[in-house]
Amino acid sequence: MEIRGNRVLITGGCGGIGTAIAREFLKLNTKVILCDLNIETGLELAKRHDGVVCLQMDLGDTQEIDRHLKPLIESDDAPDILVNNVGISPKKDTAGKAYNTWEMPLEQWNRVMAVNLTSYFYCSKLVVPAMKEKGGGRIINIDSLAVRTGGYVAPVHYVVSKSGVLGLTKVLAKEVAQFGINVNAINPGRIDTPMIHDVPDEVNQSYIERIPAGRLGLPEDVAKVVVFLTSDLSDYITGTAIEVNGGLFMG
């Protein structure tokens, strides 16, 4: 298996799935660039591995992306692979009441859209010119099972933002295939990261009871599919979404 690039940029790279993706690439001697608001986990990874760069920024702010990330993307060290992975899913207001569509504060909607969708668009927009110049590249968008089901516990802003990611994946894949750039998405199911533990334990237990594989997903389950989509094994795959959910959704 050959990875189609030497440098991978992972947004949300210091979270559960992001760190797992980084570890898989480090096993293959691929340099990783981790972008996140909190980079402590990434800095710990950098202590144990060469080839790790951590950039601290708010990916929901395009001005911060311009300030901290754009210079790298426009340099000779531009990434060959982009993994758009950052995501947030606030489920309740300050009083502990679950968000619904008609009471969703506009600022909450805008914040989730900025992080979960606009950052994917903007980072993709920035990396494509360098990929075109090199003659190819890979973009992987970490999406969600929620785009297939409408979400079970996820609020409207999260579900809509992830639905937008699927649309972005398809449009961009059509636009850049001629330049040797493949664009795909992954729809993780219930993956055991801190994001799913903001609900009562019985919620996750109810998921396990419905998952044919009989367990929650692990970050590594997603990371291995990312590696596959960035390798020569997936050269003829673009514009699609791979479901990684243990059989919870089989559409």
Strands 7-11 and 81-84: parallel
Residue type, position 6, single letter: N
- String of DSSP letters for the chain: --BS-SEEEEETTTSHHHHHHHHHHHHTT-EEEEEES--HHHHHHHHH-SSEEEEE--TT-HHHHHHHTHHHHTSTT--SEEEE-------B-TTSPBP-GGG--HHHHHHHHIIIIIHHHHHHHHHHHHHHHHT-EEEEEE--THHHH--SS--HHHHHHHHHHHHHHHHHHHHHGGGTEEEEEEEE-SB-SGGGGSS-HHHHHHHHHH-TTSS-B-HHHHHHHHHHHTBGGGTT--S-EEEESTTS---
- The whole-angstrom separation of Cα 16 and Cα 193 is 6
State the maximum Cα–Cα separation within the chain, in Å, rounded to a whole number: 52
Respond yes or no: is residue 158 known to be catalytic: yes
Q: Which of 122, 158, 207, 236 is catalytic?
A: 158
Catalytic residue positions, numbered: 158
